[in-house]
Amino acid sequence: MVVLYNRYGESFHFSAISWRSILTIAKTYGWKPAGTVAPPAKLDFGVSPAAKNAWDGNYSNPQGQTVLPKDAAALGAAIEHARAAGIKLKSAWRNFPEFCRNRGFIIQAPFAAASFIDRPVHAAHTESSHYQRAS
């Protein structure tokens, strides 16, 4: 899973396969990737110190890297060009070009919810007002 976050707190969620498809379609329709900016120290979970120093500018491995505004706008424009050329895109991607025009974004894996699964849930949060336990 890949999640893109822009500066307004909006996000786009893609499967890894869909994200790679978006990148491939955009390249086919004129996008020339400028490369990403390495993730800030707070977002580079699991990135070794050596990898931090040798950032390759990738888009496909979600680590908190930044796609700068001009590059993001070009990516969105290429997707619009693909759509205008008759390429059928998933309806969920309809607003992606507009998202890209909102001054860049970061590429991140979703934060794991697993740490919350084993924690006990407070009783007040286990029942809705429409649910009554049988006596």
The CA distance from 49 to 38, in Å, is 12
The CA distance from 52 to 134, in Å, is 56
Are the C-beta atoms of residues 20 and 61 closer than 8 Å to each other?
no
Q: In the prediction, which pLDDT does 43 show? A: 53
Of 81, 83, 104, the residue nearest 93 (C-alpha)? 83
What is the total residue count of the chain?
135
Per-residue pLDDT in tens (0 to 9) along the chain, 135 residues:
999 999 988 999 999 999 999 999 999 999 999 999 998 765 556 666 665 567 899 999 999 999 999 999 999 999 999 999 999 988 888 899 999 999 999 999 987 443 333 333 333 332 222 222 334
* Helix ranges (DSSP H) in 29-106: 49-53, 69-84, 96-100
Amino acid, single-letter form, for residue 55: W
* Domain chopping of the chain, boundaries: 2-109
Are the C-beta atoms of residues 98 and 75 closer than 8 Å to each other?
no
